[in-house]
Structure 1
Amino acid sequence: MYSISRKSFLAFLLFCAGIKSKLKYCYFSDSEIRTLTRFSEVVLPIHESSMPNLEEANVMRRLDEELYFVSEEIQEDFHSAVMVLEYLPFLYGRFRCFSNMEPEDRISFLETVSDTDSDVVRAVIGNLKLLVCLVYYGHKSTWDSISYPGPFANPPEKWSEARLHYQNLLKGN
C-alpha cells in the first residue's frame, strides 16, 4: 500500500466530498446521513427482534442535534470523520463508497480495517461507533431490551434551551 501523509489524505477526501446540501438536518448533509445510517445498520443490533430500529431510537436526529451545538472545530472533525469513512474503502481495494456497499461487505470491510496500523482509521471508526452507540443506547426505547431500569427515581425529562432551540429550527421558527 502507498504511504501518503495524513494532511494529503484529508485534503483528497475533502476534494472528493464536494459541496454539501443541508436540507432535512441542521448539521449533517444528506450524504453524511446516508453514510452514518449505513454505518449504524452494521454496528448496532437493530436487526434483533427485541431491539428498536434507527427511527424508533431517533439515532440520526439526536446525532444531528448533539453535533449542531458543539464547537466548530469538533463539528469539522466529525464532518471529516464521516467523509473518511465514506471514501476509505477505495484505499483498501474496494471500488465502492461505504454507503453503497452491501451490508455483508460493510461488515467485512469494518473487520478488515479493525486490524490496521493506522491511528487515523482506528480513531475514525472508533469515535463514530462510540457516538452512534451512545445515542442509540441513551434512548428510552432500548432500555427494556438491555434490562436497564432507567435513571434513579425516574425523573421527568427536562429539555435544555439548546434542545428547544433545535426543535424550533426544525419547525422553521
Structure 2
Amino acid sequence: MYSFSRKSFLALLLFCAGIKSKIRYFYFSDSEVKTVTAFAEVVLPIAEPEMPNLEKADVMRRLDEELYFVSEEIQEDFHSAVMVLEYLPLFYGNFSLFSNLSKEKRETLLIELADTDSDIVRAVVGNLKLLVCLVYYGHKSSWAPISYPGPFANPPEKWSEARIHYQNLLKGREL
C-alpha cells in the first residue's frame, strides 16, 4: 500500500480544488500571489515618494525564487502561513478574504492582529512581514530612497547556482 506524505496530500487536495494552478510562478499559486501582494501593499512603504513599487523592486519574483529552493518543510510552512492570513479576516468580523479587503481594512486588521493573544497569528504576520521586507529592501531600487549607499566597496553582484538555475527556468518557461 502506498502512503502519501502530508504535503503531497495537501497539494493533491488543493490541485483538485483548482487553487494550486501555477501559471506565472514556480512556487506560488495564483491565489497565493494575490494574498501576498495584498499583504505587501500594506506593510511596505510603496506609496511613499521615490520608493519603488512591488514590480520595480521585483518582490513577488524574488520571493518565488527564494521559496522555490528551500526545503519542503519550509515551503509547506509558508503555504500554510499564506492560507492562514487569507482566511484570518473571517475570524475577526470581516466577511471577506484578506486579499479581497480594501487597503484600509487590511491595515486595520493588521493593527488589530498585532495585539492578539495568539502566538500563531503573531508568528504568521511577523514572519510574512520579515520575508517581504527582506526581499523589498534587498533590491537596489530601494537603497537610494532610504539613503543606503550599498555594500562596502560596491562589489559586483554574484549569483548563486540556484539563482542562475531559476533564471534559466524562467527563460525556458517563457519561450
Same fold (TM over 0.5): yes
Q: What is the TM-score with the length of structure 1 in the denominator? A: 0.89
CA distance in 2, matches of 1:42, 1:141: 19
Is 1:52 paired with 2:46? no
**2:5 matched residue in structure 1:** none
**1:33 matched residue in structure 2:** 33
Q: What is the TM-score with the length of structure 2 in the denominator? A: 0.88
Deviation at 1:149, TM superposition (A): 0.6
Alignment of 1:133-172 (within 5 A): 133-172=133-172
CA distance in 1, matches of 2:141, 2:93: 39
* Equivalent residue letter for 1:44: L
Percentage of matched positions with identical amino acids: 75
CA distance in 2, matches of 1:105, 1:143: 29
CA distance in 2, matches of 1:65, 1:52: 20
CA distance in 2, matches of 1:20, 1:91: 24
CA distance in 2, matches of 1:158, 1:113: 39
* Equivalent residue letter for 2:126: G
Is 1:91 paired with 2:91? yes
* Equivalent residue letter for 1:125: V
Structure 1 unaligned segments of length 5 or more: list them: 1-10
- Paired residues in the alignment total 160
| Stretches (4+) displaced over 2 A | none
Structure 2 unaligned segments of length 5 or more: list them: 1-9
**2:20 matched residue in structure 1:** 20
CA distance in 1, matches of 2:143, 2:165: 27
After superposition, give the CA deviation of every residue in 1:99-119 in whole Å (9 maximum; x if it has no partner): 000000000111111110001
CA distance in 2, matches of 1:59, 1:36: 10
* Equivalent residue letter for 1:160: S
Q: Secondary structure at the match of 1:172?
A: helix
**2:4 matched residue in structure 1:** none
- Root-mean-square deviation over aligned CA pairs: 1.6
**2:6 matched residue in structure 1:** none
After superposition, give the CA deviation of every residue in 1:20-65 in whole Å (9 maximum; x if it has no partner): 1111001000110110000000100000111000000000000000
CA distance in 1, matches of 2:160, 2:145: 27
**2:106 matched residue in structure 1:** 106
Deviation at 1:160, TM superposition (A): 1.0
Q: 1 or 2 for the larger relative contact order (CA 8 Å, sep ≥6)?
A: 1
Q: Secondary structure at the match of 1:24?
A: coil
* Equivalent residue letter for 1:97: L
**1:115 matched residue in structure 2:** 115
**1:7 matched residue in structure 2:** none
CA distance in 2, matches of 1:169, 1:79: 21
